Amino acid sequence: MSQQLTIQRPAEIQGVGLHTAVRCRVRFVPAPADTGIVFRRVDLDGFEIAAHVRNVARVSYATSLMKQGVLLSTTEHVLAALYSCGIDNVYVEVDALELPILDGSSKPFIEMLAKAGARRLRRPRKYLRVVRALEFCDGDRRIGIYPCQEFRVHCFVNYDHPHVGPQQVELTVDRQSFSRELAPARTFGFMKDFAGLRGMGLIRGGSMDNAIVLDDQNVLNGPLRFRDEFGRHKALDLIGDLALVGRPLQARIVAHKAGHALHTQLVTRLLADSSLWTETTEQRAEPAEVPAGVPISVPVLS
């Protein structure tokens, strides 16, 4: 039986929001057992928004949460890092309505977690184990979740571009695999879409420093960190949205040309049908025991 985790000490970072261009400070703070991942708008007297699908507001070009009219946007990159590193309980303090994009990946948040450390709590971790398949589609976009004794994702994308094309990524997700294989993968965009997005009030904070930018033929700000960085980033986004389940998953998720909307629909439909899952404290591959209260390490990416 594994124990819940929080962080050992606070850590913080600051940057600008991708869509708002507003400067924001993010601070991770330890939280007690059974808290979950909770965002705090410290610019609004510490107003709390739990990282749960019930608080999803919109999911067009980022996953935004809202509670009682208070909005928080672009949560997926920080959620992907926390969820993959097994951090069950943490307060994420933010002082603006959008989390910073930083370099466009989850790597800076993994580095924050390395500084924060991790600490086991004297409370068992509760997993959500999928026992029956759920799948649905929207045109040629498909997503499904299936029984599995570990947390595994399979993500397929296909963009009509000479540097992208069809790409697929599949891996069992844990702290090490996410930090190494997915966390450095950056968000991306196409020059042909930028005018329309700016006209919608989006990507006002976007730049060559926080996204991969492509014209019709080339990557304008290479080199890529991975040959299939685009597929890897979509897998990162998928994990961030799956964190809105609110508990660690034991399941295999297959996403075919999906996006934030299908990801969050999957979470909503899954939680709405309790015949699809069971709650368990049993972990398939138990890690080496660490006494409660003893820090454990989170890898740093070079």
Going residue by residue through the chain, which has 302 residues, state the pLDDT in tens, using 9 for 90 and above: 799 999 999 999 999 999 999 999 999 999 999 999 999 999 999 999 999 999 999 777 899 999 999 999 999 999 999 999 999 999 999 999 999 999 999 999 999 999 999 999 999 999 999 999 999 999 999 999 999 999 999 999 999 999 999 999 999 999 999 999 999 999 999 999 988 988 888 888 999 999 999 999 999 999 999 999 999 999 999 999 999 999 999 999 999 999 999 999 999 999 999 999 999 999 864 443 334 444 444 444 43
Written as one letter, the residue type at 51 is A
CA-based Rg of the chain, rounded to a whole angstrom? 18
**Residue ranges per structural domain of the chain:** 3-296
Q: How far apart are the first and last CA of the chain?
A: 32
C-alpha 195/C-alpha 198 separation (Å) is: 5
C-alpha 115/C-alpha 112 separation (Å) is: 5
- Any catalytic annotation for residue 154? no
Residue of 219, 190, 259, 238 lying closest to 83 (CA atoms): 238
CB-based contact 184:233 (threshold 8 Å): no
pLDDT of residue 202: 85
Q: Provide the sign of the torsion angle of the four alpha carbons 253, 257, 258, 259, taken in this order.
A: positive
Name the β-bridge partners of 159. 165
pLDDT of residue 283: 85
Q: Is the pTM of this model over 0.95?
A: no
Architecture of domain 3-296: 2-Layer Sandwich (3.30)
C-alpha 36/C-alpha 127 separation (Å) is: 13
Active-site pick, 19, 233, 260, 263: 260
pLDDT of residue 300: 44
pLDDT of residue 126: 96
Q: What is the bridge-based pairing of β-strands 134-138 and 151-159?
A: unpaired
pLDDT of residue 288: 36
pLDDT of residue 15: 98
pLDDT of residue 61: 83
